[in-house]
Structure 1
Amino acid sequence: MRPLRFLVPGTTGRFRCGGLLVEQQTARLLADLVPTELVTYRQREEGLPFLNDLLRAEPLGAAAANQALWIVSWGFDVPRQLRALRGRPAAYHAHSSGYGFRLPPGVPVLAVSRNTLGYWGQWASRNPLFLVPNAMGASWIERGDRPHNLGAQSAPGGRTIDVLVQRRKCSAYVLERLVPALRARGLRVEVQDGWVEDLVALFNSATVVLYDSADHWRCSGVSEGFGLPPVEALACGCVLFSSFNHALADTLDPGGLAHQIGAGTLAADVERIAAAVADPAAWLPPLRQLEELLEELSEPRLRERWRQALIAINAHLDRLLAGEPPLRAPSLARLRLERWRQRLGQRLPAGLARRLA
Structure 2
Amino acid sequence: MRPVRFLVPGTTGRFRCGGLLVELQTARLVGQLAATEVVTYRQREPGHPFLPDLLSSASPASSQAATEPLWIVSWGFDVPQLLRQLRGRPVAYHAHSSGYGFDLPAAVPVLAVSRNTLGYWGNRSPRSPLHLVPNALEPQWLQRGNRVSPERRPIDVLVQLRKSSPYLLKQLVPALRAQGLRVEVQRGWVDDLVDLFNSAAVVLYDSADYWRGRGVSEGFGLPPLEAMACGCVVFSSLNHALADSLDPGRLGHQIGAGTLQADLERIMAAVADPLAWQAQPAELAALLAGCSEAALLERWQAALSQINSHWDRIAAGEPPLRSPSIFRLRLGQPLARLQAKFPAQFRARFAKLLR
Number of the residue aligned with 1:203: 197
1:348 positional shift = 4.3
The residue correspondences of 1:63-212 to structure 2 (distance < 5 A) are 64-145=65-146, 152=147, 154=148, 158-212=152-206
Listed one character per residue, the Cα deviations across residues 210-231 of structure 1 (whole Å, up to 9, x for unaligned) are: 0000000000000000000000
Listed one character per residue, the Cα deviations across residues 297-332 of structure 1 (whole Å, up to 9, x for unaligned) are: 000111110000000000000000001110001111
Number of the residue aligned with 1:148: none
Indicate how the Cα distance of structure 1 residues 182 and 20 shifts in structure 2: closer, same or farther if over 3 A, else same.
same
Give the distance between the partners of 1:192 and 1:67, measured in 2 at CA: 44
Give the distance between the partners of 2:341 and 2:200, measured in 1 at CA: 66
1:356 positional shift = 3.6
SS at structure 2 position matched to 1:105: coil
1:56 positional shift = 1.1
Number of the residue aligned with 1:37: 37
1:47 positional shift = 1.0
| Residue number among 297, 306, 314 corresponding to 1:303 in the alignment | 297
- Aligned AA for 1:216? Y
**Does residue 262 of structure 1 match 2:265?**
no
Q: Tell whether the 8 Å contact from 2:150 to 2:275 is kept in structure 1 after alignment.
A: no
Number of the residue aligned with 1:6: 6
Number of the residue aligned with 2:47: 47
Q: Which moved more, 1:128-137 or 1:253-262?
A: 253-262
Give the distance between the partners of 2:256 and 2:151, measured in 1 at CA: 31
TM-score by length of 2: 0.96
**Does residue 278 of structure 1 match 2:278?**
no
Q: Tell whether the 8 Å contact from 2:201 to 2:271 is kept in structure 1 after alignment.
A: yes
Q: Tell whether the 8 Å contact from 2:116 to 2:240 is kept in structure 1 after alignment.
A: yes
Listed one character per residue, the Cα deviations across residues 211-267 of structure 1 (whole Å, up to 9, x for unaligned) are: 000000000000000000000000000000000000000000111101110011111
Give the distance between the partners of 2:302 and 2:62, measured in 1 at CA: 27
Give the distance between the partners of 2:175 and 2:98, measured in 1 at CA: 34
Q: Tell whether the 8 Å contact from 1:244 to 1:252 is kept in structure 2 after alignment.
A: yes
| Residue number among 203, 211, 232 corresponding to 2:226 in the alignment | 232
SS at structure 2 position matched to 1:39: strand
Indicate how the Cα distance of structure 1 residues 52 and 356 shifts in structure 2: closer, same or farther if over 3 A, else same.
closer
1:59 positional shift = 2.3
1:207 positional shift = 0.4
TM-score by length of 1: 0.95
SS at structure 2 position matched to 1:61: helix
Q: Which moved more, 1:212-221 or 1:252-261?
A: 252-261
Q: Which runs of 4+ in 1 moved over 6 A?
A: none
1:53 positional shift = 0.6
Q: Tell whether the 8 Å contact from 2:224 to 2:234 is kept in structure 1 after alignment.
A: yes
Listed one character per residue, the Cα deviations across residues 169-210 of structure 1 (whole Å, up to 9, x for unaligned) are: 000000000000000001000000001111001000100000
Number of the residue aligned with 1:17: 17
Q: Unaligned stretches of 5+ in structure 2?
A: none
Number of the residue aligned with 1:27: 27
SS at structure 1 position matched to 2:60: coil
Give the distance between the partners of 1:352 and 1:323, measured in 2 at CA: 37
Give the distance between the partners of 2:288 and 2:150, measured in 1 at CA: 25
Indicate how the Cα distance of structure 1 residues 52 and 352 shifts in structure 2: closer, same or farther if over 3 A, else same.
closer
- Aligned AA for 1:130? H
Give the distance between the partners of 1:87 and 1:347, measured in 2 at CA: 45
Number of the residue aligned with 1:336: 330
**Does residue 61 of structure 1 match 2:55?**
no
Give the distance between the partners of 2:103 and 2:347, measured in 1 at CA: 34
**Does residue 324 of structure 1 match 2:324?**
no
Number of the residue aligned with 1:149: none
1:156 positional shift = 12
1:337 positional shift = 2.0
Listed one character per residue, the Cα deviations across residues 98-117 of structure 1 (whole Å, up to 9, x for unaligned) are: 00000000001000000000
1:62 positional shift = 3.6
1:19 positional shift = 1.3
**Does residue 294 of structure 1 match 2:295?**
no
Q: Unaligned stretches of 5+ in structure 1?
A: 146-151
Give the distance between the partners of 1:353 and 1:8, measured in 2 at CA: 51
Q: Tell whether the 8 Å contact from 1:263 to 1:269 is kept in structure 2 after alignment.
A: yes
- Aligned AA for 1:20? L
SS at structure 2 position matched to 1:134: coil
Aligned positions, number: 350
Give the distance between the partners of 1:89 and 1:352, measured in 2 at CA: 44
Number of the residue aligned with 2:237: 243
Q: Tell whether the 8 Å contact from 1:155 to 1:202 is kept in structure 2 after alignment.
A: no
1:78 positional shift = 0.3
